[in-house]
A and B are shown apart, each in its own frame.
Chain A
Amino acid sequence: MILARSYETILIAKPDFDGEAFEKLHKRLLKVIDTEGGLELKLVDWGRRRLAYPIENHRKGNYFYFGFITNPAAIKEMHRQIRLSPEVIRHQTIALSKTLPLPKFDIESERARVVAMTPDAQDEDDRERRDRRDRRDRRPPRDGDRGDRKRDSRDSRDSRDSAPAPEVKA
């Protein structure tokens, strides 16, 4: 009897890469799932998004979201396959369920779970806009990181902001 878990993987590919190359990787991953037992739940192309920080000097990435059920042992091989693809710059797999015998999975509810949790489409525009705005007025943040603690007047960050700058008299 095959024990299995449901997983979701996020793959970030280089921004300048076409879906065709991803098809190949996708097929390879499906093959692994096939041999180890399991099935694909959902494949979503999140499209090009701005990365929160550059990865391998790329500021944008092509995101792919892949939900599936498989044997935990298959994950290792899948990661190997992913690492063999130079166009993937980052990947992360999260286990969504406990380990169960494969026939015990309610495929539909697993699928619903995977589909229900997708990123807001709004976000890409959001990021784009914020990015531009940031460039326009890049001010240092007013407060330090730790909100409402009592201020230490000697705090250098503070004195820069609030106290009138000690202009040199000379």
Chain B
Amino acid sequence: MKSTRRRRFGRRKMCPFCADKTMYIDYKTPSMLKRFISERGRIVPRRISGVCAPHQRRLQEAVKRARVVALMPYSCAGVD
């Protein structure tokens, strides 16, 4: 019963960082981190992005560091 009709119960997406070992989580590459934040600038939860727990922790750290040096937004709400 792996791939059933309902996506909700289907197999989780593979962690993109585990799938591609060359992808390095670094706060200095906002273009890469951009994939993992929502339009409003929030960090996308693991259950949606499919990132594994160890990588999500590093990702979270990276996004927060990038925010400090204004490479990433804290929020993109309304006024910019």
- Point out residues on A near B: beta carbons under 8 Å: 10, 12, 49, 51-53, 55, 61, 63, 65, 90, 92, 94, 117-120, 122-123, 126, 134, 141, 143, 145-148
Contacts and interface: CB of A to CB of B under 8 A. Distances in A.
Interface string B11-43: 000000000000010111111000000111010
Nearest to A60: B70
Nearest to B78: A140
Given A90-B70, A120-B31, A123-B31, 5 more contacts: A90-B68, A92-B69, A117-B28, A119-B30, A126-B31
Given A61-B70, A146-B48, A119 B40 contact: no
A69 to B, nearest CB: 19
A94 B29 CA distance: 15
**Interface residues of B toward A: which range?**
20 to 34
A49 to B, nearest CB: 8
Interface of B: 24, 26-31, 38-40, 42, 44-45, 48, 65, 67-74, 80
A89 B67 CA distance: 14
A94 B65 contact: yes
Contacts of B70: 12, 51-53, 55, 61, 90
Given A94-B65, A117-B26, A122-B31, A147 B48 contact: yes
Contacts of A123: 30-31
Contacts, number: 60
B73 A53 contact: yes
B69 A90 contact: yes
A63 B69 CA distance: 9
Contacts of B26: 117
Contacts of A120: 29, 31
Contacts of A65: 28
B44 A147 contact: yes
A52 B74 CA distance: 8
Given A123-B31, A145-B42, A134 B80 contact: yes
A131 B63 CA distance: 20
A141 B24 CA distance: 29
A104 B30 CA distance: 33
